[in-house]
Amino acid sequence: MTGADILLTALEREGVEHIFGYPGGANLPIYQALPGHPKLKHILVRHEQGAAHMADGYARASGRAGVVFATSGPGALNLVTGLATAFMDSVPMVAITGQVASSAVGRDAFQESDVIGCTQPVTKHNYLVTDVHQIPAAVKEAFYIATTGRPGPVLIDVCKDAQQAVWEDPEWPSEVDLPGYNPAHDADLSQVEQAIAALGKAERPVILAGHGVILSGAENELQELAERTATPTGTTLLGVGAFPTNHPLSLHMTGFMGTGWNIKAVQNADLLMMVGMRVDDRVTAKLGEWAPHAKTFIHVDIDASEMGKNVRPHLEVVADAKTALTEMLKRVNGTPPPAARGAWLTQIDRWREEHPLRYTKSNGHLQPQDVMIEMYRRCQDEAIVVADVGQNQIWAALWWNYKKPGLFINSGGAGTMGFALPAAIGAKVARPDKQVWCVAGEGGFVMTAQELSVAVKHKLDIRIVILNNFNLGMVRQFQDDFYGGIRSEVDLTEMPDFVKLADAYGLPGYRVTSQDQLKAAFDKAEATKGPVLIDFRIDPEANVYPIVPLGKGLNDFWEAPDN
């Protein structure tokens, strides 16, 4: 077998079904061998960044590692943004790049780049394969590392001569031996017991759930723990979907663009249990003013390095979220929560009434919230929603209204514009049984719009919702509110006609300019086989609220103005 055949066989042995990729000079031996491996379904992308985001969306929707191919030099470097996105959001991915011949490495050969050096900061691990005999172990280890512990992307850079070399009788490792890699599995039961005891004694507890809950499939355990302990529960942006927003205990999204009642609850809680989250600056805003009344911080996370990185917890439970929550449920004694818990829940209900989500409804413009409300009405708690970055992302998150856990996919840590369309394609490939909605602003959409070709070629039923406000909306809002009102380089009025663009790519496109056109456009989208695009011309002055002014604490959050 050639190295290329060995590589592809190794992928088959790992259960890989789909690969997103782009051929080039340094990985041509792999593509030459690919037709001989019909079990591997390759999807030709239009840009390597799109391939990385597709593999990312595939992984988030399926729970399996996404796989992406690229050639050397610029091809491999075009993956970096997608790798960084997956790394920040703990998404399992295996990237396989071609590299120049091992004899030419370090000699500035044509299309050579230091892929290992460039990707080390944004991968969990990476390999430079210079010998055909290294391939089977590298592939097996890569999938093991990518999918265990805190998931993340792993890159394998394979020299061209290693792809072409022949190994007559390849050896396939049956197990992985990595002495220095010890991902957390079981929770420290003494810490679990202390955590559940502290939760039971608290008068004003709050649980905050992050992406780790979704990655571990712990949504049901989270809901059961919240119900059995009568604990209000909110989510981070990446955790949206981990807890049903219509649940009586739901605080919805936390952080500097979170709901007012969530912020109030966090700022007045006497105990915070943080599950599967990084406790980053978007959650805390001004760190020194975050949760000032909390006497106990409990942090549950699979990554020990997160403990104390931003907030020093009183109790550390280093374990997978599902494992930790399952152990906690075994120790809930079933007795009613303290009487004071009732007063706490009543107070939160009062905050929910005092600080509802609000938006302008009668200024003559189509409002983005109206679009989201109508879209979610059609999701019926089942659809996968993939959001881009900016105002569209927050509107999609805040108006998420599922009655049970569901998949809301977005670039939370890196905040990568252009993520939504390719990630939605990957999600649909992974879950053809699910409706997939893609929500994007016009600015982010055009960054990867070329991937419409992929959706059309593979006849993927993806409904693309463009919230088009003719400007870089979040940047414009920040400039208006926090930078003296000086609007600098945010005007996007010279954008393509998206209906014509859709037609050029071979999919139907519609334009909506008023609320009375909403339902008809969504009806057409739902009746369409294959991809469909709707250009919603929304209020160019629409803003995201609530929002915390930059540099301020959560207590200083702004709400939608009365007018």
Q: Mean pLDDT, 10 residues at a time, over the chain (563 residues)?
A: 98 98 97 98 98 98 98 97 98 98 88 94 97 98 97 98 97 93 84 93 96 96 95 97 95 97 98 96 95 96 93 94 95 70 94 94 90 95 96 98 95 97 98 97 98 98 98 96 96 96 98 96 96 97 95 95 75
Pair 27, 72: CB distance under 8 Å: yes
Residue at 43: amino acid letter: I
Pinpoint the alpha helices (H) of 132-174: 135-147, 160-164
How is residue 188 annotated by DSSP? -
From residue 318, alpha-carbon distances to 173, 191, 232, 233, 312 in Å are 30, 9, 23, 20, 14
Q: For residue 318, what is the enclosing H or E element?
A: strand 315-318
Task: Classify each residue of 44-54 as buried b or exposed e, where b means 16 or more C-beta atoms within 10 Å of its C-beta.
Answer: bbbbbbbbbbb
Record the tokens describing residue 464, joined without a space.
Answer: 């693309």
Record the tokens describing residue 212, joined without a space.
Answer: 């780790």
Query: Which candidate in 451, 474, 522, 536 is catalytic?
Result: 474
Report the C-alpha gap between 558 and 210 in whole angstroms: 24
Task: State the residue for tokens 């709707």.
Answer: 534
Predicted confidence at residue 537, as pLDDT, reads 97
Query: Which candidate in 124, 140, 160, 428 is catalytic?
Result: 160
What separation, in Å, do the N-terminal and C-terminal C-alpha atoms of the chain show? Answer: 71
Angle (deg, nearest 10), helices 473-482 and 391-398? 90
Reply yes or no on whether 257 is catalytic: no
Count how many Cα atoms sit within 13 Å of the Cα of residue 362 in the half-sphere of its side chain.
2
Residues 6+ apart with CB under 8 A from 457: none
Predicted confidence at residue 316, as pLDDT, reads 95
| Burial class for 38, CB neighbours closer than 10 Å (0-12, 13-18, 19+) | exposed
Partners of 206 in the β-ladder: 272
Predicted confidence at residue 563, as pLDDT, reads 62
Reply yes or no on whether 160 is catalytic: yes
Reply yes or no on whether 111 is catalytic: yes
Q: Report the candidate in 459, 271, 260 with the shortest Cα–Cα distance to residue 351.
A: 260
Predicted confidence at residue 360, as pLDDT, reads 86
Q: Regarding beta strands 66-70 and 296-301, do their DSSP bridges make them parallel or antiparallel, or are they unpaired?
A: unpaired
3-state DSSP assignment of residue 42: strand
Predicted confidence at residue 338, as pLDDT, reads 61
Task: State the residue for tokens 């514009």.
Answer: 417
Query: Which candidate in 111, 194, 435, 450 is catalytic?
Result: 111
Pair 424, 280: CB distance under 8 Å: no
Record the tokens describing residue 260, joined without a space.
Answer: 């007012």
From residue 415, alpha-carbon distances to 300, 372, 483 in Å are 24, 20, 21
pTM for this one? 0.96
Q: Report the candidate in 41, 122, 32 with the shortest Cα–Cα distance to residue 76.
A: 122
Task: State the residue for tokens 């659809």.
Answer: 383
Report the C-alpha gap between 324 and 184 in whole angstroms: 11
Query: Which candidate in 12, 39, 41, 110 is catalytic?
Result: 110
Predicted confidence at residue 333, as pLDDT, reads 79
